[in-house]
Structure 1
């Protein structure tokens, strides 16, 4: 077995190594949103003594150079190249240097993305004077850290990389977020409280009470709802869009727009810590909304648990508010096909967003509206992919966008979903019958 070496390295020290990008690596493909997220992370943590930026996997190639040891980048190319660009553009005095700057790129994709991202970084740094640039450069090089995993056997390096990216839970998006928000709690909460949230989190990964898993709640509900309500892409939650669940740290920021959040957070904490609560055992939960600004740390964990509970209230178990509705209208011949499962998820996302905003006010009528809007796709198209669901969900005049702007239930209930007059597919007959029955019930109640 080859030698494996783990070290925590300062970014500046790591970038001084003779790092090379081997020919088997994919092109540099980071987009502006990835670059901006890295810069946001650096800027928001620059007052800390150290900040961990992740892990890189390197292969020590002693045969590549005559007079030096080359370290081939197996995993971490995107982050290392972006950090090199950032440090180079921060340094206007010509003191920063990295062998990665001498790398030759054969891929036009890599060259174009590097040139474009350099412009993105420079635009972000435009307002900084020379002293501010030097201060930020010092933070990135000397207080930002990476875990360097170095292996001298290439096959084992690939195995390590594969295990981290495919099987290893350390790089799953949910666990990356857990680590991020636990880190945000370090200075404001005690160990007992952190352990409490970790325990609930781990229970949610593989629940034994029949409730939805944390993966399902975050990936197929909250991620999609937060994106769709804003009219944005919401097909798949991965480690490349963690920013959807990262927000603001109330203990370190004092922006004007945060005053209402600060006041609400204080009021909830003050109420729950009032000695009178010890005898009346009353507890005030934070009044979350699906598409609110994420509050980093403890509130993030509470946010996820809140929506696990809300999902259970609506859909799971014998007492679920919409349990009978789901059984009656979403179980039909063909309902287990992939496209029909996508549509059912769209319906559940819509009705969950309504309940989040208006509670059980006119919930039955709202469920009917959400069903007609969602299952229109089943009547209209024979084959349905997640990309079609995504486009439909974020239509500018679609139900979710109306719901996001509504301030009264009636603004949602008067939404008129499209009607499909001519049903061309036999597998849609049962859905058509459900909608006809719903419309009949609505007319009878008028």
Structure 2
């Protein structure tokens, strides 16, 4: 292996050797030594009682069946950097074993530091839990009899490749875990801690990441298929592909947006209005740009939908509160939130309540035009025909967007309207909220026209 690629060392050792920092000899007579540490791009320590119980049960079963043979914990991947051995894969298992060693005083000299507040919280909780169930494990823990395969690389790129492909722990790496690692690695060392903390403060990202993936993939110019919600591995792979592998290797933090230039009639001097936001479908650079993009849209999602922190927009807030209570509309809600993020990143709060209602008429139309259930695969099919997200993304003004939404022809299939169905309940709730005044016997005949007339008048 060339020096450019970096040296990879492989060894087998027991956990007592590894956690105590002792020098470990490799198979080809090289040595591994350094202080174990957690790099910024690692996810926090997240193991809970379920994963701990499984590890303890495995150790107990092995000890009872194979008293004289060691228990194989799996591989641990480390990145050698100066005096440190950064744990790339194995943090969850090693931290849990370190807690066991601390409680039974078998490992007194373990030195691992944690910066993530979530890690510290889980460590405290797990220490209490392990103390509570001490009788289940204290007779079965022998760190000299627990062995691991060590893979140590001097190249951070090689370390990242290992990190991306390993799944030896009990909690699978998610797409956001992997893209976090990818982008923090690309940030210069002096700023890495800052952006690692910024990322941690964003909290659970799977929701907004999926919204962004839909917004970028549900695109008539270069559309791609979004995996269905049951296809967890495919979802993970697509998230990594779009938000890590396809990002550009530039350091600039770039936000693309519309610029409006107004010329005066005589002098042709220009007044420029610049939009200060990221665009949902914009190209992304690795590092700070991608993290800032995620932060921007996570904050939009929290403010305008999840937590609804816009009480100064009473009409909009009231409508979204009502919308979130509708039943049987999961896939339609996903489409609505995607369009909402596209609109806000384009036009901000300008006539936001008007947009929300106009887009609702279109995005939720499948609830009344379908005979029965709205399936996940019907949404991309609907978008291929109507391209409503593209109208939002490529609109120059909000009024252009409103006009395109108003052109949509809402249709009602009367099947199920006379029964106690999700469709009928939806029509009843919509009739009530928009004060359409339609009697139940007239739902099939009048609902589409009455709702369309009411919503098309908004913003005039």
Q: TM-score, normalised by structure 1?
A: 0.50
Look at both structures and tell me which one has the larger radius of gyration over its CA atoms.
2
Structure with greater contact order relative to length (CA < 8 Å, sep ≥ 6) = 1
Q: TM-score, normalised by structure 2?
A: 0.48
Q: Which structure shows the higher helix fraction?
A: 1
